[in-house]
Every structure is written in structure tokens, then in C-alpha cells.
Amino acid sequence: MITIRGLQKSFTTRQGRVDALKKINLDVDEGEFCVLLGPSGCGKTTTLRCVAGLERPDEGEIKLGGRVVNSSRARTYVPAEKRDIGMVFQSYAIWPHMNVFQNIAFPLTQGQKRVPQSLVGEKVRNALKRVHLDGLEERPATDLSGGQQQRVAMARAMVTEPKILLMDEPLSNLDARLREQMRVELRKIAKSVGVTTLYVTHDQAEALSLGDKVCVMNEGQILQMATPNEIYSHPVDLFVAQFVGEMNFVKGEVAGPGRVASPLGPLSAPVPDGLPVGAPVTLAIRPEHVHVAPPSSQDVTAPRGRVTSKNYLGDTALLEVEIDSVTLLAKLAGDTAFSVGEQVTVQTSADRWRVFP
């Protein structure tokens, strides 16, 4: 549905050239919810703006629903208003001098996707129903809460029933609780309409919970494009591993096939092919895969350490365990009997470790 090939975009600034996008490839299937995730300045907005037709790429090709809208080679450039796209931005950009109805009706009465006046009312009411704002047609746009304004922006983006919806950090102006509610809501709406969505965020929790597919970006490149679960459990490199979710890192050295020497002692771990014995590596493991047991544990090879902090969070508890020079964070279910200062052993299973060159 959205196909991007070799997309490149540079900007010239007073400090010199900035390569905002370095030949990225991206595929979003029909009806799929795809999230672009990455730190500030990695090229998320630039990607979205190129898809929208608000930015002219230097090189590459963009296809929307099989139609080429951008091709540097064929010198094709379809302008934004002819791309059949709905957009929602961080600043909702709803018009303060209009009421809710007028705001949402705007794309139906102006521009490329105008419809006969007799259809406007019904389309606006349908759009409002979708975002659960029915009955608020007459309300001045300024008399709405942040969450309601965001929904108006969504309704307006979707009122023309575009094939593609682009969203750039649409929830970042909302407070934490509302953001979480709207997150669930937003995905439901997009899914029920079946619109193909490209969604930008720098918030990893948001990306994991929203996306059918997540693209982790850094410095103008897509490092990994996969399901949220794949990204979380099999990050392709150190950047993805540290950017998405909590992770423990330990330095080590390849000791043989499937074996790594580390400050925790010898560990079994999936060493990538081609790494020679002695190669320096970084081992990574999620806190929920670090198991803590009493020192009397049967497992005599398990590293021993001391609990240095405990953070009780209700459903889980986070323990910091110091083992010689290494501190591991362990996430345990519920309250745990272990307390600060206690001696413990730490158990990990080989298949939970990730090994990065």
C-alpha cells in the first residue's frame, strides 16, 4: 500500500549538509498500522512529509496503492492534495473560530475531495461517531479538552475516507493517562475503518502497543522493521536493544561456539556465526529474564551477588543485584521476599541472552 524505495533527503543548513534520510526502504501493507520509532532528529517527520508530498525527496521512489507519486528517475511528483491522504499532527491545527462541525466539514467543502452539500452533514456525523464525539457538533472548538480536540483532528483527517492516514506524534500534547487511553482508542478507530496508517513517535511504549509493525530508525536509516514482539525479543543491534524497553548490558568475550566469558562467569548464549574466539561482545538480557534465587540454590554455577536496591511497583518489583563489578536489574512478579543487602544467586537461561558484536 505504501512502498518506499531508496528514499534519500538531505538539507543544507548553515552548519553544512544534513542527511535526513539515507536511502530508506519501507513497506506498509493495506490496512496495516505501521509505526516509525526513533530518537529526535532521526528522520521520522521527514519520511512522513515525503509520503505526504510536503517534502520533495532527492532520490528514490514512493508508491501509494500501487501508484507512483514520487520517482526521482521518472521525474514524477504528485502534489500533496492529489495523494488521498489524511494527516494528524502534534499540534492539532483545528480552527479556533469554527465549531466542531465546521472543523470536520472543512475538507468536504474545500479542496480536492469536495462533496455535494447534501452529503456533508451525514459524513461529518459518521466521522464524529467514529471518534465518540457525537452530539458535540455545535461546540466551539476551543471549548474542548485536549483529548477531544485530538479526536476532532482525527475525525477531520478521516472524513474524506482517505486510503492512508499519516500521524506525527499526535498524542504528545496530552497528559500521560489520556495519552494511554487515546492510544487504545486511536488504534481501534484506525483498525475499524481499515485505513493504512503510518504513525510517528519517539515513545517506545507507544510504538509497541500501537503498531502491527514497528520501524526503528536512527540517523536517517531504518535499523529494524518487524512486529513489536520481534523488535522486543530479537533486536537486530545494540541501538535497537537499548532504545526499546529496559535492557541489561554486560561486556564479554567469545569463548567458543555458544559460549561467552563475562564478569558473571562463563555463560551459554547464542553467539552470532562468524565471531572468532576472543572477539569482544556485548551481552544483553531483559530484566524479566533475570531470575533471582536464594543463595542456597542448587545451581552451583549461577553467579552470586547482593541486592543493592528494591523498587516495589505493585504488580512487579525491580531488584538491583550487584555481582562483582556488574549490576543487573531483575524484574520480579508481585512483591518479593528479597530485601536490600541480601545475598542471592542470579539465574539466566541461554536463549534469553542476546549477543552483539
Ligand X SMILES: Nc1ncnc2c1ncn2[C@@H]1O[C@H](COP(=O)(O)OP(=O)(O)OP(=O)(O)O)[C@@H](O)[C@H]1O
Cell digits of residue 9: 533527503
Using rule CB under 6 A, residue 20 touches ligand X: yes
Q: Cα–Cα distance between 269 and 112 in angstroms, integer?
A: 57
Q: Answer with the entry of ligand X, Mg ion, none that 57 interacts with (C-beta below 5 to 8 A by kind).
A: none
Candidates 43, 53, 235, 287; binder of ligand X (CB under 6 A) is 43
Using rule CB under 6 A, residue 221 touches ligand X: no
User: Which stretch, 43-51, 65-73, 140-148, 320-328, contacts ligand X (CB under 6 A)?
Assistant: 43-51
* Helix runs in the chain, H state only: 44-52, 100-109, 117-130, 146-158, 176-193, 204-210, 228-233, 238-243
| Residues 213/240, Cβ–Cβ less than 8 Å | no
User: Which stretch, 38-46, 242-250, 267-275, 278-286, contacts ligand X (CB under 6 A)?
Assistant: 38-46
| Residues 62/50, Cβ–Cβ less than 8 Å | yes
Task: Supply the minimum distance, in Å, between the C-beta of residue 169 and ligand X.
Answer: 7
User: Which stretch, 39-47, 135-143, 319-327, 340-348, contacts ligand X (CB under 6 A)?
Assistant: 39-47
| Residues 11/210, Cβ–Cβ less than 8 Å | no
Candidates 202, 291, 310, 354; binder of ligand X (CB under 6 A) is 202
Using rule CB under 5 A, residue 218 touches Mg ion: no
Q: Is the dihedral of CA 183, 186, 188, 194 positive or negative?
A: negative
Cell digits of residue 321: 543485584
Using rule CB under 5 A, residue 201 touches Mg ion: no
Identify which of residues 220 and 252 has a Cβ nearer to ligand X in the complex. 220
Using rule CB under 6 A, residue 291 touches ligand X: no
| Residues 155/125, Cβ–Cβ less than 8 Å | no
Candidates 22, 27, 31, 41; binder of ligand X (CB under 6 A) is 41
Using rule CB under 5 A, residue 45 touches Mg ion: yes
Using rule CB under 6 A, residue 13 touches ligand X: yes
| Residues 273/281, Cβ–Cβ less than 8 Å | no
In the range 46-85, which residues lie near ligand X by CB under 6 A? 46
In the range 151-170, which residues lie near ligand X by CB under 6 A? none
CA dihedral 13→87→214→334, nearest 10 degrees, is: 110
User: Which stretch, 40-48, 99-107, 130-138, 285-293, contacts Mg ion (CB under 5 A)?
Assistant: 40-48
Q: How many CB atoms lie within 10 A of CB 231?
A: 28
Q: Which residues lie near Mg ion (CB under 5 A)?
A: 45
Q: Which residues lie near ligand X (CB under 6 A)?
A: 11, 13, 18, 20, 38, 40-46, 202
